[in-house]
């Protein structure tokens, strides 16, 4: 084993030109691919497609429309909608939307769709027609007619806003274009909504408000592009810090360059494999860079020390390679495996993140543990640089100021105190963490700032219309032609009524409630006939007036949704509604009449929330399982493993408490951060402990071993933690709320994991190797 390792090392450095050439070729090839990577978002990627609810959703998507909708509210800012100009604009928006690829044309609905009709009761029966007459020419008389028709059609609050200043155009999007078979390009569609609708039709007196998943992701993608700036700032900060650390221009450039190569490789491979980068996972390349720098700094720290010891750069590089390949490799491998475990979660976007992150981290093994030392071996330091490196290598100042004093943490009493404080923090974190809510906690799009255009548009639409965008459909699955039976509709009606009584449900609609209105209509509009007729002919008559395009029944009437409009999509509202459906379907459902959860945007959220809740524990188990296993293998010591894992776990718990405190819910986008945090944190612990455990094994006491570890690696750990924390803290200024949140979370994780590794880890070690305490 040892000889094989030596052989390996010798060969790498013997054929170092070959190694560099190979890396150069791969980098060039992958760089070309990396430049082709594009932002890519899709609705279905964000949902757990195999969840029970989503099976219902996918099964009925074609009949009842999906949950991936676009709502466009056209508003007159100078009065009500009844002006010629407004109707010209509205028609323009309707027609334009109709022709945008990806839009489900059958589902395009507005005042101008032929399916928007009114019905009125007259002496000899019904009179009705399209709300906008066929010969509409926008004249004052025509507008008066339209106004009257709108009232008769009962579409105030849905198609026309409550105050008559806005009108809605809405549609569903198709994930796959049935004609071309192509996947929907969500971001392109979002751009088209902006370019071809908002930019064309918004003008003085007319405002256009667009909401829906596609638009939201589009806006997030636009904001996420700002990440490039933050990336640049982070690189600059990192460079300055690393230079201050090693005082060598060359040794500063090399680790940063290698970490960037890892990012290029990662993006290249992803693009080569056909993956895009989701706007919500845009922080992954940055994380890869960060973890890369963390390992790179360890490498140059080691090189500096060897140079100071009188070795030439080649020898120094070779020695550092030998020393760091194992701890670095273990740390990176545990990150890789930890991230890979995220694949177990059946949500597309998390799987993509798992692939992207584990791939990136695995590639760092090559770029920073192989390429970096090989590159360093070529370096020739001039006299001045050599002097600087030698002077700073031991970081005497730091050693004197910090490490000597830091060593106190391994003395019994301070160690006990630290462990007690950590335990208290852990329990506090555990308590707070339990309050961590699943799902989205705020109205609108939580990833965007509250004052963003998208969220402002959401608030406007929620405010002006009675129906909300937050709806959930409970699909009643029955037998063919079931809706001509009173018993069936009666049960549907009962379910709807009970659900309407659940707090958080604003209103509800189903074939049953519409059939009652139609029955009343057939009886002169007399409210006393607003019942489901027991007479089958009458019932059929009522149902016949409800077209399948209404989305309230499918073609053979074997499925009909009960659409529940909710006040919001907060996690607790969703939980309450879902629980009520589950309770009532026990009482009302039969073999022939089954109430299936759930479709509609909130149905999708319910499924996602449940999937996230279910995934939380397994994910933590997998990540920790992987890290524990690798620690056991590499340290071959249970004590060492405990010393690394415990601080890590305390920090994970505190991170969850922080999420509670910041009011960040656990969603598909925030769930992986906890796993990523473990990946970031484990590096520090492994580097510190690998030196310590060697020395303890060699017979040194814990304080001695710790002091040695600090001298050898402590400065690098401290600098990396600070550097990366400062780098991500620039995200606080991001245009995306999501990135701000992530910035806070990651800053916390970088800093606190670092502190835990140099304070809590030795304190725990002091007690684990009690016999080695005084020697």
Q: Which residues bind other proteins (CB under 8 A)?
A: 121-123, 151, 156, 497-498, 500-501, 524-531, 533-535
Min. distance of Cβ 115 from other proteins in angstroms?
A: 22
Min. distance of Cβ 577 from other proteins in angstroms?
A: 15
Which CB, 84 or 526, lies closer to other proteins?
A: 526
Which CB, 123 or 591, lies closer to other proteins?
A: 123
Contact 682, 627 (CB under 8 A): yes
Which CB, 24 or 122, lies closer to other proteins?
A: 122
Closest by CA position to 326, among listed 5, 23, 19: 5
Hey, which residues does 219 pair with through a beta bridge?
A: none
Min. distance of Cβ 472 from other proteins in angstroms?
A: 18
Which CB, 77 or 536, lies closer to other proteins?
A: 536
Quickly count: other Cβ atoms within 10 Å of residue 621's Cβ: 12
Widest distance between CA atoms in the chain: 107
**Bond before 512 cis per omega within 30 degrees:** no
How many angstroms separate the CA atoms of 339 and 364, rounded?
Answer: 14
- Residue linked to tokens 């009482």: 587
Which CB, 531 or 708, lies closer to other proteins?
A: 531
Min. distance of Cβ 520 from other proteins in angstroms?
A: 9
| Pair of tokens at residue 670 | 């925030």
Which CB, 527 or 617, lies closer to other proteins?
A: 527
Handedness of CA 390, 393, 395, 399 (dihedral sign): negative
Which CB, 196 or 500, lies closer to other proteins?
A: 500
Min. distance of Cβ 498 from other proteins in angstroms?
A: 7
How many angstroms separate the CA atoms of 525 and 141, rounded?
Answer: 27
Which CB, 495 or 673, lies closer to other proteins?
A: 495
Contact 87, 143 (CB under 8 A): yes
Which CB, 422 or 505, lies closer to other proteins?
A: 505
Min. distance of Cβ 527 from other proteins in angstroms?
A: 5
Closest by CA position to 305, among listed 392, 369, 398, 404: 392
Min. distance of Cβ 131 from other proteins in angstroms?
A: 16
Min. distance of Cβ 530 from other proteins in angstroms?
A: 6
Q: Residue 209: left (phi > 0), alpha (psi -120 to 50), or beta? A: beta
- Determine the 3-state secondary structure of 737 from DSSP: helix
How many angstroms separate the CA atoms of 365 and 448, rounded?
Answer: 35
Q: What is the DSSP string of 477-538?
A: E--TTGGG-HHHHHHHHHHHHHHHTSTTEEEEE-HHHHHHHHHHHHTTT-GGG-S--SSHHH
How many angstroms separate the CA atoms of 711 and 703, rounded?
Answer: 12
Which CB, 294 or 520, lies closer to other proteins?
A: 520
Min. distance of Cβ 525 from other proteins in angstroms?
A: 5
Taking CA atoms, 292 is separated from 12, 260, 295, 606, 680, in Å, by 20, 8, 5, 37, 10
Min. distance of Cβ 535 from other proteins in angstroms?
A: 5
């Amino acid at each position: 084993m040892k000889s094989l390792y030596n052989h390996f090392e010798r060969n790498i450095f013997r054929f170092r030109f070959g190694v560099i050439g190979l890396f150069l070729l791969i980098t060039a090839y992958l760089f070309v691919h990396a430049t082709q990577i594009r932002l890519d978002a899709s609705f279905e990627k964000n949902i757990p497609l195999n969840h029970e609810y989503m099976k219902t959703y996918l099964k009925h998507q074609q009949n009842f429309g999906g949950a991936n909708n676009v709502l466009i509210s056209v508003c007159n800012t100078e009065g009500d909608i009844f002006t010629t100009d407004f109707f010209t604009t509205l028609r323009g928006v309707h027609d334009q939307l109709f022709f945008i690829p990806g839009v489900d044309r059958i589902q395009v609905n507005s005042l101008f769709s032929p399916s928007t009709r009114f019905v009125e009761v007259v002496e000899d029966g019904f009179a009705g027609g399209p709300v906008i007459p066929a010969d509409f020419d926008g004249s004052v008389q025509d507008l008066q007619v339209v106004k009257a028709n709108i009232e008769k059609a009962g579409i105030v609050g849905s198609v026309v806003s409550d105050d008559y200043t806005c009108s809605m155009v809405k549609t569903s999007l198709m994930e796959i274009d049935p004609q071309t078979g192509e996947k929907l390009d969500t971001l392109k569609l979002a751009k088209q909504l902006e370019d071809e609708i908002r930019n064309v039709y918004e003008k003085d007196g007319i405002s256009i408000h667009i909401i829906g998943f596609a638009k939201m992701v589009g806006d997030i993608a636009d904001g996420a592009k700002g990440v490039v700036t933050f990336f640049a700032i982070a690189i600059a900060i990192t460079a300055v810090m690393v230079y201050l650390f090693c005082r060598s221009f060359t040794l500063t450039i090399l680790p940063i360059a290698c970490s960037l190569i890892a990012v290029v490789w990662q993006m290249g491979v992803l693009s080569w494999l056909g993956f895009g980068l989701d706007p919500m996972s845009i922080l992954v390349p940055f994380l890869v860079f960060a973890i890369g720098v963390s390992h790179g700094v360890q490498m140059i720290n080691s090189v500096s020390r060897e140079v100071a010891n009188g070795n030439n750069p080649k020898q120094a590089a070779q020695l550092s390679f030998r020393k760091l390949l194992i701890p670095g490799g273990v740390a990176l491998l545990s990150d890789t495996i930890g991230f890979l475990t995220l694949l177990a979660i059946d949500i597309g976007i998390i799987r993509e993140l798992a692939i992207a992150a584990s791939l990136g981290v695995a590639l760092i093994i090559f770029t920073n543990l192989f390429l970096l030392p090989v590159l360093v071996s070529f370096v020739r330091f001039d006299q001045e640089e050599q002097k600087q490196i030698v002077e700073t290598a031991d970081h005497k100042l730091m050693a004197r100021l910090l490490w000597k004093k830091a060593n106190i943490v391994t003395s019994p009493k301070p160690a006990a105190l630290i462990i007690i404080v950590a335990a208290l923090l852990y329990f506090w974190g555990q308590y707070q963490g339990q309050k961590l809510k699943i799902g989205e906690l705020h109205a609108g799009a939580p990833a965007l700032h509250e004052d963003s255009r998208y969220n402002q548009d959401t608030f406007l639409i929620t405010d002006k219309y009675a129906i909300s965008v937050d709806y959930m459909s409970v699909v009643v699955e029955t037998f063919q032609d079931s809706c001509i039976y009173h018993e069936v509709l009666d049960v549907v009606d009962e379910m709807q009524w009970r659900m309407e009584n659940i707090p958080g449900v604003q209103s509800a609609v189903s074939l049953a409630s519409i059939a009652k209105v139609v029955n009343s209509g057939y009886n002169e509009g007399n409210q006393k006939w607003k019942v489901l007729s027991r007479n089958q002919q009458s019932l059929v008559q009522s149902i016949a007036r409800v077209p399948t395009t209404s989305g309230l029944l499918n073609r053979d009437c074997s499925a009909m949704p009960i659409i529940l409009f909710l006040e919001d999509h907060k996690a607790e509202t969703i939980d309450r509604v879902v629980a009520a459906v589950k309770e009532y379907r026990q009482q009302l459902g039969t073999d022939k009449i089954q109430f299936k959860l759930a479709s509609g945007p909130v149905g999708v959220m319910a499924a996602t929330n449940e999937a996230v809740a279910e995934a939380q524990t397994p994910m933590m188990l997998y990540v920790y399982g992987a890290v524990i296993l690798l620690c056991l293998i590499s340290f071959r010591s249970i004590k060492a493993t405990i010393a690394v894992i415990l601080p890590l776990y305390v920090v994970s718990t505190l991170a969850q408490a922080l999420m509670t405190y910041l009011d960040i819910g656990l969603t598909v986008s925030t769930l992986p951060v906890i796993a990523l945090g473990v990946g970031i944190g484990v590096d520090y612990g492994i580097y510190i402990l690998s030196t310590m455990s060697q020395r303890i094994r060699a017979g040194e006491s814990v304080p001695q071993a710790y002091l040695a570890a600090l001298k050898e690696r402590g400065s690098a750990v401290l600098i990396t933690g600070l550097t990366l924390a400062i780098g991500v803290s620039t995200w606080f200024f991001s245009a995306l709320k999501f990135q701000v949140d992530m910035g806070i979370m990651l800053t916390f994780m970088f800093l606190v994991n670092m502190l835990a590794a140099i304070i809590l880890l030795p304190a725990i070690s002091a007690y684990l190797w009690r016999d080695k305490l005084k020697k």
